[in-house]
Amino acid sequence: MKKVSPKFKSLAAKLLYWFAANARDLPWRRTRDPYAVWISEIMLQQTQVKTVIPYYERWMQSLPTIQDFAKAKPQRVLKLWEGLGYYRRVRLAQDAARLIMTKHSGSFPESFDEVVALPGVGRYTAGAICSIAFNQPTPILDGNVIRVLTRLLGIAGNPRSKTVNAELWRAAEELVIASGAPSPLNQGMMELGALICLPRQPKCPICPLRPDCFALRNQRVEDFPATAKRPAATLRRFIALVVKDGERLLVQRRPNGVVNAGLWEFPNVEVPVNAKDLKKLIPPFQITDRSRFIEIRHSITRYRIILEAYNAKLSSNSLLAETNSVWKTQAQMSKLPFTSAHRKVMQRTIHLQA
Ligand code: SF4
């Protein structure tokens, strides 16, 4: 067992005391089932708690065990995930569920090395599962924990750099060992980052670690964590073509091997950001109404994306095969997983038709 300092013991004790009195009642905190902890952790990556709650509850009702998840059709899995984004997460998770069925006889592995070897599971997720579900002293380091530790201990430098990152993992590990209670300690760290040690205007006056905080004592809270300059986002523009045939609409499934593979969308074309004349850019489609009926702006990783949707038709029905698209009724489309932006286009289309 690694030696821990009295300072870390005292910090851990304060955090545990605070967490016992202040933990939110979140659905994944009502269980120690490693499968449930794992699903909640994957959903919570890049996504806010309040968004995740209904997804998590729906998921656990539909696929309550690893066996159910491993056996589920990919389209059903994507439908349950629809709107959470970063769909690669759930595809890798299903690979992991299948591996657990074959390699671990359907039981979630308990050793850190076996958990971290699962597809899509990194050091953070493995640490969260092993500590929360199995109460092992495995550290975690996510955005919330980085913020708390850098401020609390005055850890300067870019947290993504190798040396600073290693220092943060060491501190997280010492703290979780010092606590003697890994599950609530790690959850407490995340909770403190989510509720008190906020990115802007942290609630230092009610923070349980206030007397020990380097950043507060030195009036340098804004200096931590150091932020690396982000590269400028690249703007991309897509034109979605909404082609109707009575009740039916033309839609396509994104092929395997591309971003958002397996999700559905309207036929669409990427065009130069400043393109004015779209005619030559969208064959075999023709725009039938020059005014776009919806424009959606969103960001994916380093891209800022503009999606404009227009009513359109095929210049000839014989060209349908070229589009890789199929006709679907509204009822059929409601059962398919769509990307969030194209789901909005569909809802707008249905609204305008009503
Ligand atoms: S005192 Fe303020 S800056 Fe320091 S850990 Fe608490 S909330 Fe964060």
Ordered DSSP codes for 93-124: HHHHHHHHHHHSTTSPP-SHHHHHTSTT--HH
Q: Looking at residue 219, what is its pLDDT? A: 96
Any residues with CB less than 8 A from the CB of 188 and at least 6 apart, and which?
15, 16, 18, 19, 23
Distance 105 CA to ligand 1 centre (A): 45
One domain for residues 278 and 182: no
For 125-143, what is the mean pLDDT?
97
Q: Looking at residue 349, what is its pLDDT? A: 87
One domain for residues 45 and 182: yes
The domain boundary, picked from 170, 204, 223, lies at 223
Q: What is the residue range of 131's domain? A: 6-223
Q: Looking at residue 249, what is its pLDDT? A: 94
Computed over its alpha carbons, how large is the radius of gyration of the chain? 24
Provide the CATH number for the domain around residue 129.
1.10.340.30
- Paired with 312 in beta bridges are 243, 287
Mutate to test the pocket of ligand 1, among 149, 191, 204 (most ligand atoms within 8 A of CB): 204
For 299-307, what is the mean pLDDT?
90
Element (H, E) at 307: strand 303-314
Domain count, the chain: 2
Cα separation, 120 vs 235, in Å, equals: 29
Give residue-wise pLDDT tens across range 155-170: 999 999 999 999 999 9
Q: Looking at residue 197, what is its pLDDT? A: 98
Provide the CATH number for the domain around residue 286.
3.90.79.10
The CA-CA-CA angle for residues 170, 45, 262, to 5°, reads: 140
For 253-277, what is the mean pLDDT?
92
Q: Looking at residue 231, what is its pLDDT? A: 81
User: Is the C-beta atom of 341 inside 6 A of ligand 1?
Assistant: no
DSSP letters, 320-353, are: GGGGT-EEEEHHHHHTS-B-HHHHHHHHHHHHHH
The domain boundary, picked from 223, 244, 273, lies at 223
Residues of the chain with pLDDT > 90, as a percent, come to 83
For 297-301, what is the mean pLDDT?
87
For 14-23, what is the mean pLDDT?
98
One domain for residues 90 and 189: yes
Distance 39 CA to ligand 1 centre (A): 30
Distance 206 CA to ligand 1 centre (A): 9
In a domain, 229, yes or no: no
- Pick from 147, 140, 141, 156: nearest CA to 199: 147
One domain for residues 239 and 200: no
Cα 273 to the chain's mean position, in Å? 28
Contact at 8 Å (CB) between 130 and 112? yes
One domain for residues 70 and 193: yes
Cα separation, 248 vs 229, in Å, equals: 47
One domain for residues 218 and 241: no
Q: Looking at residue 134, what is its pLDDT? A: 98
Q: Is there a cis peptide before residue 225, judged by omega within 30 degrees of 0? A: yes
One domain for residues 241 and 160: no
Q: Is 41 a catalytic residue?
A: yes
In a domain, 192, yes or no: yes
Cα separation, 95 vs 221, in Å, equals: 42
Cα separation, 15 vs 9, in Å, equals: 10
In a domain, 228, yes or no: no
pLDDT at 229 over 90: no
Give residue-wise pLDDT tens across range 233-251: 999 999 999 999 988 999 9
Q: Looking at residue 230, what is its pLDDT? A: 79
**Any idea which of 9-18, 104-113, 341-350 has the lowest mean pLDDT?**
341-350
pLDDT at 322 over 90: no
Predicted confidence band at 5 (pLDDT cuts at 50, 70, 90)? very high
- Please, where are the H alpha helices in the chain? 6-22, 34-44, 49-62, 66-71, 74-81, 88-103, 112-116, 123-134, 143-153, 162-179, 182-195, 214-217, 330-334, 340-353
Give residue-wise pLDDT tens across range 77-118: 999 999 998 899 999 999 999 999 999 999 999 999 999 999
Cα separation, 98 vs 110, in Å, equals: 16
pLDDT at 263 over 90: yes
- Pick from 335, 305, 11, 336: nearest CA to 145: 11
pLDDT at 1 over 70: no
Q: Encode burial over 129-153: b for 16+ CB neighbours within 10 A, e otherwise.
A: bbbbbbbbbbbbbbebbbbbbbbbb
- Pick from 117, 105, 131: nearest CA to 34: 131
Q: At what angle do helices 162-179 and 143-153 cross, to 10 degrees?
A: 90
Give residue-wise pLDDT tens across range 167-201: 999 999 999 999 999 999 999 999 999 999 999 99
For 203-229, what is the mean pLDDT?
95
For 124-153, what is the mean pLDDT?
97
- Pick from 316, 252, 343, 8: nearest CA to 153: 8
Residue with tokens 């194209």: 342
Residue with the larger pLDDT of the pair 344 and 354: 344
- Pick from 208, 210, 230, 246: nearest CA to 329: 246
Predicted confidence band at 280 (pLDDT cuts at 50, 70, 90)? confident
Residue with tokens 């503009």: 306
Q: Which residue's alpha carbon is nearest to atom 8 within ligand 1?
A: 197
Cα separation, 75 vs 66, in Å, equals: 17
- Mean pLDDT score of the chain: 94
In a domain, 1, yes or no: no
User: Is the C-beta atom of 304 inside 6 A of ligand 1?
Assistant: no
Ligand 1 atom, smallest distance to 213 CA: 4
Cα separation, 57 vs 68, in Å, equals: 15
